[in-house]
Structure 1
Amino acid sequence: MFFNGWEPIVRTVAVGFFSYVGLIIILRISGKRTLSKMNAFDLVVTVALGSILATILLSKKVALAEGLTAFSILIIMQYVVAWLSVRSRKVSDLIKSNPQLLFYKGEYLKNTMKKERILEVEILQAARSNGLSSLDEAKAVILETDGSISVIQKEDEIHLSTLANVRKP
C-alpha cells in the first residue's frame, strides 16, 4: 500500500522527465496561443494536456510515445480550430462566445446576469478588485469570453473603443 518497490518509482521519474521535456518542446513549437485562456475551448485544451500528462505518469498501460502522440494530436487540433476561427466568421462564432455586459450606466442587466449565471456580489467583487469603492464609479462591467469580469471606470469613458464587440442594451 505504501511502497511497491523501486521499479514504479524509477518508471515515474523517467517517464515524467521525458514527457515533461516532450510537452515543453511541443508547446514551444506550437506557440503561445496553445496555452492561452482566450475562451472556453482553450481552457479545455489546457486541462486535457494536464490530464494526459497525469495519465502518462501514473498509468503503466500508457507508453511515453502514446502520451506524446496524444499531446501532439490535441495541440494540432487546437491549432487547426484556432486557424480556422481566424479565417472563418462561422467557425469563430461556433467556437467563441461574445463578451456580455452585466452592468451598464448605473444599472444591473438582470436578464444577462441570469442567462450567464452571475450574481450581483460577483460584480461587486470585480469592482473592488479594480479599486472601485462604489459601482457609481463604473461605466460598464463585462463578462469576458474567458469567464473573467472586466470593469470600465467612468473616468475611462472617453475611450470606450474596448466596448466595440460588446452587445449594448
Structure 2
Amino acid sequence: MHVIFDGWAGIGRTIVAGILGYLALVVFLRVSGKRTLSKMNAFDLVVTVALGSTLATIVLSHDVSLAEGTAAYAVLIAMQFVIAWLSVRFPAISRLVKSEPQLLVYQGRLLEDAMHRERVVEAEVLSALRQQGIASLAAGTAVVLETDGSFTVISDPDLRPPSVLRDVAGADQAVPAVSKEA
C-alpha cells in the first residue's frame, strides 16, 4: 500500500523541497539574466529542460538534497552563461552550438532540397502560412525555419537585399543579390 500513501513525512519533504527548490531556481534565473531561458537554439532548450528536470529531481527524489540540487542549478546556469559568452566572442563556438536558420520558401516556391534536409513537409509550411493569415503559397514571400524550430513567414512582396534573410541558409541561392554585410 506504500504506492498510494507512504506517510506524511514524504509529503512534507516534497512540499518543503518543492517550495525551496522553486525559490532557488527563481533566484538563480533572476541573477543569471534573460538569456538563460531563451529559446534561441537547441543548446538553450537543453538547458531549460535540464533545469526543469533538476527541479523535479529535487522535489521528488529522496536521494538528492536541496543543496545538491541547487549546486546542479548553478552548474547548468554557469555552463549556459559560459557557452553563450564564448559563442558571442568566437564564431567557431557559435557555429558549434547553434544551427543556422534555413530558407524553405521563396517567392511562392517551395525549396524542396532545403525542406528534405530539414525534415520539413509541405503541410507544415502550409500550416505556418495559414497561421499568419496567408491564403496561398504564392502570397508567402519567404518562410524560414528558425534556429529554435519555429517558422517565420515574411509576406512583404518588396523584400529586397539587403534584407532580414542575410544570415539565412539557402538565401544566397534563392535570392542571388542578398547582401551578407548589411
Tell me the TM-score normalised to structure 2 length.
0.90
Rounded Cα–Cα distance in structure 1 between residues aligned with 2:97 and 2:39: 13
Matched, 1:84 2:86: yes
Q: Which runs of 5+ in 2 are unaligned?
A: 174-182
Partner in structure 2 of residue 10 of structure 1: 12
Matched, 1:124 2:121: no
Alignment equivalent of 1:20, drawn from 22, 26, 35: 22
Partner in structure 1 of residue 96 of structure 2: 94
TM-aligned CA deviation for residue 154 of structure 1: 3.2
Partner in structure 1 of residue 48 of structure 2: 46
Q: What secondary structure, in the 3-state scheme, does the structure 2 residue paired with 1:142 have?
A: strand
User: How many aligned positions are there?
Assistant: 169
Cα distance per residue 1:112-141 (max 9 Å; x no partner): 101100000000000001110111111111
Partner in structure 2 of residue 149 of structure 1: 151
CA RMSD across the alignment: 1.2
Partner in structure 2 of residue 112 of structure 1: 114
Partner in structure 1 of residue 77 of structure 2: 75
Cα distance per residue 1:3-46 (max 9 Å; x no partner): 11100000000011100010000000000000000000000000
Cα distance per residue 1:47-85 (max 9 Å; x no partner): 000111111111100000000000000000000000000
Q: Which runs of 5+ in 1 are unaligned?
A: none
Q: Which has the higher helix share?
A: 1
TM-aligned CA deviation for residue 160 of structure 1: 6.1
Which 4+ residue blocks in structure 1 deviate beyond 3 angstroms? none
1:8 maps to a residue whose letter is G
Tell me the TM-score normalised to structure 1 length.
0.96
Identical aligned residues as a percent = 54
Partner in structure 1 of residue 177 of structure 2: none
Q: What secondary structure, in the 3-state scheme, does the structure 1 residue paired with 2:99 have?
A: coil
